[in-house]
Amino acid sequence: MSKNYRAELVGAFGNPIDENPTGVMEEAAFAAKGLNFRYLTVKVNREDLEAAMNGVRAFQMKGINLTIPHKVRVLPYLDELSPAAEIIGAVNMVVNRGGKLWGDNTDGKGFLISLENEGVTVRDKKVVILGAGGAAKAIGVECALAGAKKITVVNRSRERGEDLAELIRDRTEAESEYVEWDSAYSVPRDTDILVNATSIGLYPDVNSKPDVVYDTITDGMTVSDVVFNDPNTLFLQEAARRGAHTVNGLGMLVNQGALNFTLWTGEEAPAEVMMDTLKKEFGL
């Protein structure tokens, strides 16, 4: 019987990327399912993205993750987009379908699954999102598509914040407004879900937290953070002290990774293995 020494390749392009643990999680999943796949974590500078995407085709890679600064810049090099990615205007993963590159954004979907796993639904809820970058766009659009009643975008840059609020109003059924983040933000009492979609608190900046009036967080709110390293952020610690239901960023990371796994391999992802691997990686 002949042996196959060629592994199927997937991976991630980004810069910075050295601290990105996705490969550890995906490799554990491949091993658990007995798949001959390898995940490559690749540093790709802005000016080299076109060459890197040509490499995806040339190496016949099954797909790739995109992270900073490539989630928007990659769009010209793709052949197709999912409906959500088309609305969001950014992708975090690509599938190579016989040389045709199809892009999707699984960040927001992974976020929704992380809430659902905690018994939280966004339908008919009022959601406040801190930030207006790539993660905020993905979460805002997916929450709106899932039936959220209203999305409030809180951001320092007026242009980016208003653009996201307008995008949600124009392309979904949800209400949306922009609030300028020019001082400590007081969370409205009728907020159901508060999300930190900024990088504040991400390693090595673990001693920072978003500029929020924390005493306006109540025990009736669900408070989530996209930061996964360290997942026990000061933002979530402050929210927990006020009795809020907290959801850390590990769930979003694992669930988007599980969606990517299935899109690349065609098999159901071993999400529990992926979560356990990350917890061990972070010493949890």
Residues with catalytic roles: 71
Dihedral sign of CA atoms 98, 270, 284, 234 in order: positive
Rounded to 5 degrees, what are φ and ψ at 95?
A: -115, 130
Percent helix, percent strand, percent coil in the chain, to nearest 5: 40, 20, 40
Q: Residue 60 region, left (φ>0) first, then alpha (ψ -120 to 50), else beta?
A: left
What's the CA gap between 260 and 41, in Å, rounded? Answer: 15
Element (H, E) at 273: helix 271-281
Q: Which residues contact 123 (CB under 8 A, 6 or more apart)?
A: 146, 147, 148
Q: Residue 186 region, left (φ>0) first, then alpha (ψ -120 to 50), else beta?
A: beta
Residues found in the chain: 284
CB atoms within 10 A of CB 175: 15
Identify which of 116, 109, 79 has the alpha carbon closest to the alpha carbon of residue 92: 109
Identify which of 72, 201, 77, 188 has the alpha carbon closest to the alpha carbon of residue 138: 72
What's the CA gap between 188 and 195, in Å, rounded? Answer: 13
CB atoms within 10 A of CB 82: 18
